[in-house]
Amino acid sequence: MRDELREINLESVNSTNRWAKEHISELNDGTVVSAKTQTAGRGRLNRNWVNLGEGNLFLSFVLKPDMKYSKNFPNITQYLSVVLARVLENYNVKPQIKWPNDVLINGKKIAGILAETSMGQNSFNGIVLGIGVNLNARREDFNKIDKPATALNLESIIPVDTENFKQELCEEFFRSYDEFLEKGFSCIMDEYITRASFVNKELTVALVASEVKGVAKGVTEHGELILVGDNQELTLNIGDIL
């Protein structure tokens, strides 16, 4: 765990991930970039992340240990989903994880996570790991969202202090981060599966240009989805459960 958190706090930004990538050469490993409001956030597969305004969390971790690309980085979003679930459980809610990294409460999405690699001409500059968490909202705010979504204050029935939540999340993230870099998905696998909402369910998974259906039998030691259907077993490392 880091002795001192390096923080950059912005008033408003198009995207904390975009800002961090643009300034990554100036930022140290472990820097946390956050903003009070974010106007053009993005989720996985280039989806827009709806801006609920102040009182919610818009944050990016800048990660560049030893300036080398770790073989465990592909699972960094799954690591963050487990970290977020741990923190949410402090608020007397029961989060679940939808493969690969969506975090849900009562079947409704509460957060978006996106990792982006920054590359130089011939070098690896680092990873920018972004997260947006709905902390304070009104039920009617979600009328403009086409999928079930929620906010922590609606599930815990109390207002959420955004700054406290941010500090809890950062502390929990860095508590096990070095272990994750060393061991990868195996160090969170049990926790991930315990909170999984998809295991043993019939699923349709959207791939880049097609869809596949089957029953989710779990995940591999590398965090890949094991899907069984039509007398075949598929191992998926990318996709989106519909």
Residues 194-210: tens digit of each pLDDT: 999 999 999 999 998 89
Instruction: Indicate whether 207 and 189 sit together in one domain.
Output: no
pLDDT band at 6 (very low <50, low <70, confident <90, very high): very high
Q: What is the pLDDT of residue 122?
A: 83
Instruction: Indicate whether 29 and 138 sit together in one domain.
Output: yes
> 151 exposed, middle or buried (CB, 10 Å; 0-12, 13-18, 19+)?
buried
Is 2 within the bounds of a domain? no
Which pTM was predicted?
0.93
Specify the residue for token string 């979003």.
Answer: 77
Is 1 within the bounds of a domain? no
Instruction: Indicate whether 188 and 88 sit together in one domain.
Output: yes
Residue in 36, 54, 37, 15 with CA at minimum distance from that of residue 136: 54
Residue 101 has pLDDT above 90, yes or no: yes
Give me the domain span that covers residue 139: 7-194
Number of domains in the chain: 2
Q: What is the pLDDT of residue 48?
A: 53
CATH number of the domain to which 237 belongs: 2.30.30
20-52: pLDDT as tens digits: 999 999 999 999 999 999 887 665 545 555 678
Is 105 within the bounds of a domain? yes
